[in-house]
Structure 1
């Protein structure tokens, strides 16, 4: 698991991350009992180009970091690199484990994420009369009585959007929740639907799971398929972003 510039080979990001762990700037990781001394060198002659632009890795205080040369290979600081690529990273000191791509099971509540909404037809509310949906009381909901868009800046931090949605009375029609990629890199594909899930008035609060892995900015468009102007759709505050189902991860590792 090396990043060897002399061979000029192209490595996938996952391999690069794994190699970079040795040079991680995670601080307390150096207290691990299995550390052993090596003879390595800070290689300040190596420069980096990230997505076509010159990039300088830095520590949390803003100090420039250099690559490390060891045994014919070059290693990079994993935290600085993961932040530059907008991939979440976590360190578990108790287990001496580094999580690249986020921990399974950790959730970011949907309304805690950077969000833009259509303020004409989509409205956030905490009114107890409006946050009671399907006989369940929520703290906050996004109500969309006609149609609407909600845009989230996710910065490639998550794999899934788990949306709790419903159609309330007097809604009579199925409502579609559609996912779009509206990041700067979307180009002409920004108008292409990536996924659509439907919720009917007869459903209870329904959980919709969207794949958002690798996306920087997404849009959820909510509207009836037959363009009915009154849909009475709701998105609940129990919705969240995460990096996968820990139960599924445990099953796949067996």
Structure 2
């Protein structure tokens, strides 16, 4: 189904909420505009309530015959990732041009390591990895926190010692599995892509057999 958004006004545009610190340094022109509570917004034929990041209702703005809709609310409705780069005053919608490595903010478990004896796979040192190399049969998992800023997760995973027959990535808050797969030793370093638009938290899980392991390079796995 094609994504479609209708507003009962002439001309729809989008604006992004910015903090006062950002506004102070922006190239702004003062205007006289109106909050317009009479406008109804529909998505695929159904009415939607525009909300900010905290869940508060926000209204369209009417100015000079055009209607402006808050970009974060519209992105959430269309299930498109949105972020703001304050350094360049740039609104980022959908996939970003450059990925953000998981190593940047990874804060999980004793299996997170920078030990050179554990970070090498296939002759390459990945510098920082999640490597569960315990010996018993077990579940292995970690959390990721995209916070709705990214469109896609690109995850690299390798099985060591034994195949991983059950692997999945789950939207933790909605309890929905976004990707389920298997990872065989012969796959080498397998690249797994997951659509994560609008997702706040991710649960990455694998069932590992005895003497098996899971190797995830955090420098080459990334959000985009």
TM-score, normalised to structure 1's length? Answer: 0.60
- CA–CA distance in structure 2, aligned partners of residues 126 and 70 of structure 1: 54
Aligned-pair CA distance for 1:163? 1.0
Alignment TM-score, normalising by the size of structure 2: 0.66
What does residue 88 of structure 1 align with?
Answer: 83
| Residues 55/69 of structure 1: CA separation in 2 closer, same or farther (3 Å cut) | same
CA distance in 2, matches of 1:97, 1:157: 14
After superposition, where does 1:106-185 map in structure 2 within 5 Å?
A: 106-113=98-105, 115=107, 117=108, 119=109, 123-145=111-133, 146-168=138-160, 171-183=161-173
Equivalent residue of 2:186, what SS? coil
Alpha-carbon distance between aligned partners in 2 of 1:221 and 1:102, rounded to the nearest angstrom: 24
Q: Which runs of 4+ in 1 moved over 3 A?
A: 1-5, 23-31, 44-49, 53-57, 71-74, 76-83, 89-93, 96-99
Which residue is equivalent to 1:63?
none
Q: Does 1:230 align with 2:206?
A: no
* Deviation per residue, 1:191-215 (Å, 9 max, x gap): x533122221223222111222222
The 3-state SS of whatever aligns with 1:55 is: coil
Measure, in 1, the Cα distance between the counterparts of 2:60 and 2:196. Answer: 32
In terms of fraction of residues, the more strand-rich structure is 2
Aligned residues: 198
- Structure 1 distance, partners of 2:37, 2:199, is 30
| Structure 1, gaps ≥5 residues long | 8-14, 32-36, 58-65, 243-254
Give the aligned CA root-mean-square deviation in angstroms.
4.2
Structure 2: gaps of 5 or more residues: 39-48
Which sits farther off after the overlay, 196-205 or 154-163? 196-205
